[in-house]
Amino acid sequence: MRTISKSLAMSLILAAAPVPAGAQQPPASELLAAQRTAMARLAWLDGEWRGPAVTQTADGEHRVTQTERIGGMLDGTIKVIEGRGFNPDGSKGFNAFAVVSYDPGSEKYEFRSYAQGQSGTFAITPNGTGYVWEIPAGPMTIRYTATVADGTWTEVGDRVMPGRPPVRFFEMNLRRVGDSSWPGAGAMTAQ
C-alpha cells in the first residue's frame, strides 16, 4: 500500500510541476474545449445501431448482424465504440472496441482499435457525410469509408493497391435504433 501511495504522490508532484517555458502548452481548459468541438463533428455516431454486415474472406462470405454502441467519455473529449457481430445462430462472430480522440496540437483525429487479437492506432478523417480511416498494410492500404444519411450508417472496406482498382471486401448498413446511456451510465460517484 505504501508503494502505491508513494507512486500516487510522485505522479501528483510531476503533474503539478511547471512546464519549461519553451514547451508551454495552452491551458487545459483550451485543450479540452478544442477536443469537445472537434468531437462534435462525430456526434451523429452516438447511440445504438444495428444491421447487416458482410465480409469477403478467402473462405467465402461471412455474414453477421452488426451492432454498434457509441458514446462520449471524459466530458465529450473522446468517443468510445463497441462493435459486436452476431452469426445467424446468435453466437458472437465479431467483437471490437475503439476510442476516437482529437489532438489539438496536430489538429488530427486518431482511431485506436482493438479487434480479433490485434490493435492499432490509425488516422481517421471526418468529412461532411461521415469519415474515412485507413490501415497501412505494406504496399496495400485498407480503407474504410463511412457515410450517414437518413438514419442509415453505411461503411465499406476496400483493399487499395497502387495502380489497381480498389477491391471491396466489407460492407455494413446499420440503422440507428436508439439512444444509449453507454458508457456514462453506471459510473461511480463520490459516495
Q: Give the tens place of pLDDT for each residue, 138-154.
A: 999 999 999 999 999 99
18 has pLDDT over 80: no
Q: How confident is the model at residue 122 (pLDDT cuts 50, 70, 90)?
A: very high
The pLDDT of residue 187 is 81
Domain 29-178 has CATH 3.30.420.40: no
Question: Own/partner pairs for 76-79, CB < 8 Å, 24+ apart?
Answer: 76/35, 76/36, 76/39, 76/40, 77/32, 77/35, 77/36, 77/39, 77/101, 77/102, 78/35, 78/39, 79/39, 79/42, 79/45, 79/46
The pLDDT of residue 9 is 46
How far is Cα 124 from Cα 129, in angstroms, rounded to an integer?
Answer: 13
Instruction: Tell me the average pLDDT of the chain.
Output: 89
The pLDDT of residue 23 is 57
Domain ranges in the chain are: 29-178
Single-letter amino acid code for the residue at 16: A
The pLDDT of residue 189 is 79
Residue 26 CB contacts under 8 Å (≥ 6 apart), including other chains = 34, 104
79 has pLDDT over 50: yes
- How is residue 123 annotated by DSSP? E
CA dihedral 110, 53, 94, 60 (to 10 degrees): -120
The pLDDT of residue 14 is 45
Contact present, 110 and 122 (Cβ < 8 Å): yes
Q: What is the pTM of this model?
A: 0.82
How far is Cα 95 from Cα 111, in angstroms, rounded to an integer?
Answer: 16
The pLDDT of residue 17 is 47
Contact present, 146 and 158 (Cβ < 8 Å): no
Contact present, 114 and 96 (Cβ < 8 Å): yes
The pLDDT of residue 129 is 93
How far is Cα 18 from Cα 16, in angstroms, rounded to an integer?
Answer: 6
The pLDDT of residue 24 is 67
How far is Cα 191 from Cα 185, in angstroms, rounded to an integer?
Answer: 16
- C-alpha pair distances (Å), 157 with each of 17, 71, 103, 139, 169: 45, 23, 25, 16, 6
